[in-house]
Amino acid sequence: MSNVILKARSVHKTYTMGKAEVRVLRGASLEAQAGEFLVVTGASGSGKSTLLHILGGLDIPDQGAVEFEGHDVFAQSQMARNTYRNRQVGFVFQFYHLLPELNVLENILMPKLVSHSALSWLTGRGQAKLEAMDLLDRVGLRERAGHRPNELSGGERQRVALARALINRPALLLADEPTGNLDEKKGADILDLLSEFNEAGQTIVMVTHDARVAARAHRRIELVGGAIQSKRDGSPSVADSDSQPTHALS
Ligand SMILES: Nc1ncnc2c1ncn2[C@@H]1O[C@H](COP(=O)(O)OP(=O)(O)OP(=O)(O)O)[C@@H](O)[C@H]1O
Ligand SMILES: [Mg+2]
């Protein structure tokens, strides 16, 4: 019955800074169902971004596995992992990460350019532009296509970043504090958009430290001590059951 699209199994990650080791993830496990809007909460510095980067193939775990549609992301070739990162996953960052020298339309088209060969880009760019303009419509910014990011408000930049994350129709949207840098109204607009895309079938995993933002999700889980705990009445969920033994190592 369940349709698991993404699974993390006992993910460990330690950063080394000089002689100091920061053990960030210590057996974090989770599952996301296709079509789900899953939110991961956790205190600042608890490792939310680290976990999200690993889920999206942007960073590599020291131990543990990430499975997307049943395939182990880090056991695949570098090329397959690049394809996962560029085609299956869309990423929204807290600070937008738009390219300042490109206009809105060009920013949105960037993932298309990166993930296609020169030839398929040349033959498909007309269609790609139509798709980008359609996404701009959906985020309410069609008339701003020719503007540079520095001519937009924070909320508008984040809407552009959302459109960019969705241009390759990713199966999975990962959002790292997408409202963290916005005032309440603009943050609410972004959440409304995320909910709309989710209702249309988009699977979303979002991290946030904001309880009000988290309340919009189907399901909430929390990152504590480098492992996942269920938010519902404190009982462990199926998804985090294998995080328990690794806790004993800490
Ligand atoms: N590249 C890195 N090198 C060294 N330490 C790092 C690196 N990236 C993250 N850390 C450390 O790992 C810990 C977790 O960082 P992370 O950014 O994942 O936390 P977070 O939960 O996203 O925090 P925030 O809510 O503030 O965004 C922090 O102590 C941070 O200093
Ligand atoms: Mg973070």
CA of residue 89 to ligand 2 center, whole Å? 18
CB 190 within 8 A of CB 141: no
Q: Over the stretch 5-39, which tens digit does the pLDDT of each residue have?
A: 999 999 999 999 888 999 999 999 999 999 999 99
Q: Model's pTM, two decimal places?
A: 0.89
What does the pLDDT read at residue 37?
95
Q: Over the stretch 126-179, which tens digit does the pLDDT of each residue have?
A: 899 999 999 999 999 999 999 999 999 999 999 999 999 999 999 999 999 999
What does the pLDDT read at residue 1?
53
Length of the chain: 250
CATH no. for residue 16? Answer: 3.40.50.300
Of 12, 13, 49, 207, the one to substitute when testing ligand 1's pocket (max ligand atoms within 8 A of C-beta) is 49
Closest approach atom of ligand 1 to CA 50? 18
Q: Is the CB of 13 under 6 A from ligand 1?
A: no
* Boundaries of domain holding 241: 4-247
Give the H or E element holding residue 4: strand 4-17
Of 11, 14, 15, 21, the one to substitute when testing ligand 1's pocket (max ligand atoms within 8 A of C-beta) is 15
Helix ranges (H only) for the chain are 48-55, 78-83, 104-115, 118-138, 154-166, 184-199, 211-214, 244-247
What total number of domains does the chain contain?
1
For residue 116, CA distances in Å to 112, 113, 168 come to 6, 6, 10
- Of 19-28, 98-107, 110-119, which gets the smallest average pLDDT? 110-119
In angstroms, how far is CA 239 from the centroid of its own chain?
Answer: 18
What does the pLDDT read at residue 116?
75
CA of residue 103 to ligand 2 center, whole Å? 27
Closest approach atom of ligand 1 to CA 17? 4
**If you write DSSP's letter for every residue of 216-240 in order, what string do you get?**
TSSEEEEEETTEEEE-STTPPPGGG
Q: Is the CB of 45 under 6 A from ligand 1?
A: yes
Beta pairing class for 4-17 and 203-208: unpaired
